[in-house]
Structure 1
Amino acid sequence: MKVIRFVLGKVILGLDCVFSPSGVKRDPAKQTEIDAETAKYSLYQFEACPFCVKVRRTIKRQSLNIELRDAKHNEEHRAALLAGGGRIKVPCLRIDNENGETQWMYESADIMSFLESKYP
């Protein structure tokens, strides 16, 4: 099973690299504003997870500057995901709100919908 996952993971990453979307072109001032806003976001993910790939493609398509955190190979990120979100499930978007609260958003469809509606 591990061999199949490894091979499929490499195929998914290869296809993602070949068919990578181009990002949105924005006014530099607007892009700077969006970059400052998205600096409060972190995406906990596994590199070859197909749902994580979908979210990363949305991030790239929307030209968003969101920190990617590897929860599979980085024990610090994995522990933070478990402590904050309550479970090790990816993708998970961490949103540090203005009021100091942290929101943990699971499910790739919810994350993509959130990003696409906030940054059209």
Structure 2
Amino acid sequence: MKMIRWILGRVILLLNALFSPKAIKRAEAEQQTVDQAMKQLHLYQFDACPFCVKVRRQAKRLALPLQTRDAKQPEFEQELINGGGRRKVPCLRIEKEDGQIEWMYESNDIIRYLEQRFA
């Protein structure tokens, strides 16, 4: 089973590389504003997770420089568990202007959030 997952993960990554989405174009000033806002977001993910790939593809379509953190690395895994409460990916860490941190799970919820905020 582990071998099948590994193979499927590599197929997903290959297809993602071959059929990478095109990013939208923004005015330079608008893109700089988006880039600055994106510094408050971090995506905890696994490279070959299909739901993580789905979120990363949408971020690319929206021209969002989404910072990713590999939840397999012990320090990021611990941050995810301590902050979000569970080891589940994808998870978007959102640092709000008032300093509060929100942990958002589920790829569809993350995509909806990104579209509402940045589309």
What RMSD in Å do the two structures reach over aligned CA positions? 0.5
Distance in structure 2 (CA, Å) of the matches to 1:116 and 1:19: 21
Distance in structure 2 (CA, Å) of the matches to 1:114 and 1:100: 18
Distance in structure 1 (CA, Å) of the matches to 2:15 and 2:65: 22
Equivalences for residues 1-120 of structure 1 within 5 A: 1-72=1-72, 74-120=73-119
Distance in structure 2 (CA, Å) of the matches to 1:17 and 1:87: 29
SS at structure 1 position matched to 2:44: strand
Identity between Structure 1 and Structure 2 (%): 53
Residue ranges of structure 2 left out of the alignment (5+ in a row)? none
With structure 2 as the length reference, what TM-score do the two structures score?
0.99
* Structure 1: 4+ residue segments shifted above 6 A: none
Distance in structure 2 (CA, Å) of the matches to 1:109 and 1:55: 8
Distance in structure 2 (CA, Å) of the matches to 1:27 and 1:103: 29
With structure 1 as the length reference, what TM-score do the two structures score?
0.98
Distance in structure 1 (CA, Å) of the matches to 2:26 and 2:42: 22
The aligned length equals 119
